[in-house]
Structure 1
């Protein structure tokens, strides 16, 4: 047997070795996997589980329960794993207990605190435990799959802290900006500051909705969008920058459409991304145009600038991670805009670029959608 095969060889009692399918599953599974007998004692585990919990002398660990093998901090030394006061709320114990009463797999989250008795080191894990019972003649066993989600749970916690603290910070900044507006009502920089702060809060709230959804089934919030107000917001956001860079922003509403239904925050995110790209591609003295026009059952937002996109770049314009700008974390702007348009607004994003006409990105948003709820 070669060394790689030996490294994947599970540790098990002889009765499990007779089950070819279970043995192969133990060898091939990338998950942390254990097999328990009817008394919830571990009679087999794979190498991935041994490595994760740094289990020494694995053969001597067979016939112990999971909490005893993992050196659970809350293990009752007299009653054993599964019978102590903390075990009533143990996700693994609950999953195994419910699986014994069901033919279906049972999944629970287990908060495991491990205490190494030799080194005194303590470590906390968050494990997704999935358990299913199977029978062989008059005996039954449990297959227990473990997934370490400690880092994900920690990341989710940090995200919640971030959104909570950053929202409070933005609220304080917006309140300060409003006080400045009372004192300096005509100051253009105070007005720009307030516009940017309100836009920042909208972006933050949208990101929070994405994160809190977590299931991949994010639902946009459709509501009436006032076309003139939307264009006015964009002018306030980009007017000062255009003047500073000596570029011209021209906004035109070419069709009589007062309002339409969409998710305004996502729509504004896409348009600001397109306008930012157009500004960065334009030289001093050039014009950027934003036009809104009804075309059949669509409302088309067109962002134009005078520069042509180079031919090699055109072929990869919407490709994820592709960017002409240096540095890491690039190449998500146009990619995310196209995905957001398609997945959340039921819209399409396309472009046309020639030396004579420059570059035009067109966002076609459907008319006739109904508000959410």
Structure 2
């Protein structure tokens, strides 16, 4: 698609970035009439739950969906002919010699760059855009643009989603995890110093174990947050499966959920897997905890491991049977059979961490003959 104005253009060369040319208001209104009279376009953009505007080749608004008008409290007539930054009140729109897109800061504006990229490539383009408004507030946008042709007119459809809340949350989470891990690291260090100085007692050993486990738990929560955001980078290292499972058994034997229940492991000696130890521990810990919660007092939870043809399969078994309607939702985020907020991430995290980041295969079976078995199968050697 070749972009041509197909309009009366008021020419101006004053710009620090994008073209300063503008179409006159009569042509803008004619394009608005064209879009409004094309039902599938109007109905489609009005169905979108986020801001959508249609721009001409001079980046001016020729149509907008109902979300724009309700969000900004304007009529479509107020938006026609303006560029996006001018409509929302970007602080740089008035600083440029010819409005939005012509100021020096516009060179790094995700919205302007997305529009121009779609014009040049005819492709869908997605960019992040940080906007400061005249009222002092700041917004983080995700802008998606795509070329659109109606009766020979080359237009751009631009969708805008406000990701400010997500950005703020990510920033707060990074700060929280950074600070609390530093504090826990300091506490753990002092406990280890006391242990190294031969101040021996059962209580000190218990404190040492609990601080180590608390630090790992916080790190695991941070890893899950990173994983959901797509930012987690696994740290591969040799992991002896038997030692890892023995440590988990030691952890859960004193946990209230294991009261009256037995945990047994059946794993070959010296079976070493190259993987991320912390992520695998998180996956197996969730499997064991879920199995204990599902078991009745007097029952046994078994963790076993086999290595066949270069694949390591680690399984956790309990005698209970998962109801069919629960099985159909078992890996869905936020689904839980337990009441309360913050539930429903255990089996979800098993699947997410086990498959996306450990490159394994996570599955389960549950029936009256065999009970319930959760398993993760991993390559013995990972490049």
TM-score range, shorter chain: 0.7 to 0.9
Instruction: Tell me what 1:48 maps to.
Output: 67
The 1:25–1:177 alpha-carbon spacing in structure 2 relative to 1, beyond 3 Å, is farther
Instruction: Tell me what 2:34 maps to.
Output: 18
Tell me, in whole angstroms, the C-alpha distance in 1 between the residues paired with 2:352 and 2:95: 55
Of 259, 264, 276, the residue aligned with 2:277 is 264
Instruction: Tell me what 1:96 maps to.
Output: 115
Alpha-carbon shift at residue 48 of structure 1 (Å): 1.6
Alignment TM-score, normalising by the size of structure 1: 0.74
Q: Deviations over 1:58-97 (max 9, x none)?
A: 3144223333322223332683413334434333233334
Please give the root-mean-square deviation of Cα atoms over the aligned residues, in Å.
3.8
Alpha-carbon shift at residue 45 of structure 1 (Å): 1.9
- Matched length: 346
Instruction: Tell me what 1:363 maps to.
Output: 375
Alpha-carbon shift at residue 210 of structure 1 (Å): 0.9
Q: What SS does the corresponding residue of 2:82 show, helix, strand or coil?
A: coil
Alpha-carbon shift at residue 342 of structure 1 (Å): 4.7
Of 223, 227, 239, the residue aligned with 2:241 is 227
Of 270, 277, 282, the residue aligned with 2:290 is 277
1:297-308 equivalences in 2 (<5 Å): 297=309, 298-305=311-318, 308=320
Q: 1:223, 1:371 within 8 Å by CA — same for their partners in 2?
A: no
Instruction: Tell me what 1:333 maps to.
Output: 346
Q: Deviations over 1:295-330 (max 9, x none)?
A: 64454444445x634767775583635544222343
1:1-373 equivalences in 2 (<5 Å): 13-18=29-34, 24-29=40-45, 30=48, 31-55=50-74, 57-76=75-94, 79-82=97-100, 83-115=102-134, 121-132=135-146, 140-183=154-197, 184-187=199-202, 188-204=205-221, 206-207=223-224, 209-211=226-228, 213=230, 220-241=234-255, 245=259, 247-253=261-267, 255-282=268-295, 286=298, 288-294=300-306, 296-297=308-309, 298-305=311-318, 308-309=320-321, 318=330, 320=332, 321-338=334-351, 340-343=353-356, 344-352=358-366, 354=368, 359=371, 361-366=373-378, 368-372=379-383
Tell me, in whole angstroms, the C-alpha distance in 2 between the residues paired with 1:98 and 1:275: 51
In structure 2, stretches of 5+ residues that fail to align are 1-27
Instruction: Tell me what 2:18 maps to.
Output: none
Alignment TM-score, normalising by the size of structure 2: 0.73
